[in-house]
Structure 1
Amino acid sequence: MASSSASAKPSIGIVSIGDMGMGVAKLLLSHDYQVLTVSAGRSQHTIDRIRAANIKDVESDEALLAEADIIFSIVPPRDALATAKRIADVCKPAAGPRKERKGPGSDSVIYVDLNAISPLTTSKIFGILGTNVSQTPPPPPSITRRITRTLSMGGQAQQPDSPPLPPIKIKFIDGGIIGAPPSKSDDSDEWKLPSIPLSGPRDLLPAHLMSTLNMKIISDKIGSASALKACFASLSKGFTALSILSYTTAQTCGVLPEFQEHLDKYAPGVRDRAEKGITAMAPKAYRWVDEMRQIGETFKGVSGLKMGNEVYGGIAEVYKFVAEDTVLGEEKTNKRKRGTTAEDVAAAMAEGVDKKLKKKEDINDKLELAWRGSWS
């Protein structure tokens, strides 16, 4: 573990600070960990949240890699590969500043991928970051080269150039987050924690950090934690997508109250679960689009269930519609306006359908006019 002393807590870099990253950061800060992030390119809203939480804001990925002992990647699934490439790109330029820290771990960083991605995508990320482990510095100039250089300089002896430092080594751990962001109620010191399963090397993360974050190594095999996350989310978020379709159709057909009444009577507990899911999903729908595709890839590529790719490709379209074609896609977790009740979710979805159908009709009308005009 890459801390400066055996007793010191490691510094944690988080890429990036969204709702989940902020929850993890606040939990770590409450246990006296130093937390770092890069706010460059983020919205002013996010920058304000970073400052308010007293998270250390460093200027670049290079600075983050130079200062952090452990990096948590917590980004939308669509950005997981690009984030790994960003970190890989600065492994070499960050080597000098990091070496100045001296001590054990000055040449390596632990990278924990906590994104909702398939085992296949996890393997790609492991490959991208793993290339930095095998790189070695070029050998120092040979004696022949040094003599030749001395003669070319008029016989004046020159000090040989110091060999460049090798890139920072990345020690990789696969992971996933199952549940809501860490949170603490105002009237209690108890934290409500998600589960964070991990897979990979068992001796990299300190026990206190794993206990604080409710982490557990479930396998030595990279990809196992991602598979567990995908299987869990396929049910939880898959059910929410089906609920969106059911509630929207009931609203459109004018039978929503009767639908809810029948759920209460003939499927006890289902209505409560469905409505909690659909009212909470709006601010996260854009993230779930690619997560559903990653689940489909898991089913197809790992278990051979090709139909799973088609099923979750369709579910991805449900969340894409929410995010891009309804007012629900504009929602922020801490600033809710629409979709806070099941009835309003259904109404907002119906509004989005009407708007899209009207747009399609307008396009068809224009195409028909253009076609008729070409014959006039």
Structure 2
Amino acid sequence: MSVSLNCVGVISIGEMGLGVARLLIAHGYRVVTFVADRSATTQNRALSAGVEKCQSLREMVCESDYLLSIVPPKDAHDTARRIAAELPSRAAKRSTPVYFLELNAVSPCSARAIAALLAATPSAAVIIDGGIIGGPPQPVDDEHWKSPRLVMSGPNTLPDSRLTTILNVRHVSSEIGAASGLKMCFASLTKGYTALAIQSFTTAQGLGTLPELRDLLQEHFPAMLSRADAGVRSMPPKAYRWVREMEEIGDTFADEGFERDLFYQVAQVYRTVSHDPILGQEQPGQRERGQTAEDVAGILHDALSREREDPQ
């Protein structure tokens, strides 16, 4: 039987969280968040989308039928700990558990550790492991949205079939960690390739052969060039998030017997971008630099050249 639970708490209202919030509001769901400890930009972003602001994290946990954790991977554990601390209050106030959707880009091991934190108050929360594949939801017209795929796993599924459809959910396994692992495998190919493109384009820029590299890719692998361009130019505002995500991928692969070093080095590529004084300042919706692959390559080449000349 399909059960309608109408209040969704979104943690937090970043680019993806905002898109998900707008999607849900457009389909009649009440969406709440707690942003009192966030920047004025984030608070205004929530208000502009019609998201209700809770006065405390406890209020959000108690009000919500579902909690969607969509935070940078480095914050996933701390977010879960903060939610877990409020679950006893939830249990005292409401007889129904909150469905906690762990949607962050973390390894299966991290997902299981997060589930264990929340399971300490078992009557207050139902934990679902998940991963988001694709970009933030965007309206196509007044009735239709282009949405990412949400892969989910664990012994429980969403009780609201309508919400399952709206969020484009595919339940892939009864095991906590399977959906997170699938997300890691997918991201290793997409964001891993973007990291290779960053290094390739930047090195070719230093050699003075970037136009020739692009010509050769266009001649032999046009789809590869298109994918590299899209990844490199959209990457700068998100690079800081991807540092820990690449390390989580390394941890995922290490659990299967591979070395984690490869993706820890990929993480360093994104760390270089996020620390760059130009590219590291880019924000979603407020882009100034790095909007072409050539500009990204030029900025990074100049920065790395300065570092070689003056390593201090």
In the alignment, which residue of structure 2 is the partner of 1:239? 193
Aligned AA (1:128): L
- Among 188, 191, 199, the residue aligned to 2:145: 191
Distance 1:9 1:95 in 2: 17
Q: How does 1:1-376 map to 2 (within 5 A)?
A: 8-96=4-92, 98-99=93-94, 106-133=95-122, 169-185=124-140, 187=141, 189-301=143-255, 303-306=256-259, 309-360=260-311, 363=312
Say which SS state the counterpart of residue 50 (structure 2) adopts.
coil
Equivalent residues of 2:5, 2:65 under 8 A apart = no
Moved over 6 A (4+): none
Say which SS state the counterpart of residue 71 (structure 1) adopts.
strand
Say which SS state the counterpart of residue 152 (structure 2) adopts.
strand
Aligned AA (2:303): G
Structure 1: where are the runs of 5+ without partners? 100-105, 134-167, 364-376
Alignment TM-score, normalising by the size of structure 2: 0.96
1:347/1:229 CA distance change after superposition, 3 Å: same
CA RMSD of aligned residues (A): 1.6
Aligned AA (1:305): F
In the alignment, which residue of structure 2 is the partner of 1:148? none
Aligned AA (1:63): E
Equivalent residues of 1:10, 1:34 under 8 A apart = yes
Structure 2: where are the runs of 5+ without partners? none
Aligned length: 312
Say which SS state the counterpart of residue 89 (structure 2) adopts.
coil
1:174/1:291 CA distance change after superposition, 3 Å: same
Distance 2:118 2:59 in 1: 17
Alignment TM-score, normalising by the size of structure 1: 0.80
Aligned AA (1:175): G
Aligned AA (1:177): I
Q: Which has the higher Rg, Structure 1 or Structure 2?
A: 1
Equivalent residues of 1:202, 1:217 under 8 A apart = no
Equivalent residues of 2:32, 2:51 under 8 A apart = yes
Q: How far off its partner does 1:205 sit?
A: 3.0
Say which SS state the counterpart of residue 125 (structure 2) adopts.
strand
Equivalent residues of 2:127, 2:156 under 8 A apart = no
Q: How far off its partner does 1:234 sit?
A: 0.2
Aligned AA (2:258): L
Q: How far off its partner does 1:304 sit?
A: 1.3
Q: How far off its partner does 1:198 sit?
A: 0.4
Distance 2:213 2:150 in 1: 36
Distance 1:251 1:110 in 2: 49
Q: How far off its partner does 1:188 sit?
A: 5.2
Equivalent residues of 1:12, 1:69 under 8 A apart = yes
Q: How far off its partner does 1:200 sit?
A: 1.1
Say which SS state the counterpart of residue 250 (structure 1) adopts.
helix
In the alignment, which residue of structure 2 is the partner of 1:164? none
Distance 2:65 2:13 in 1: 18
Aligned AA (2:50): N
Distance 1:204 1:69 in 2: 11
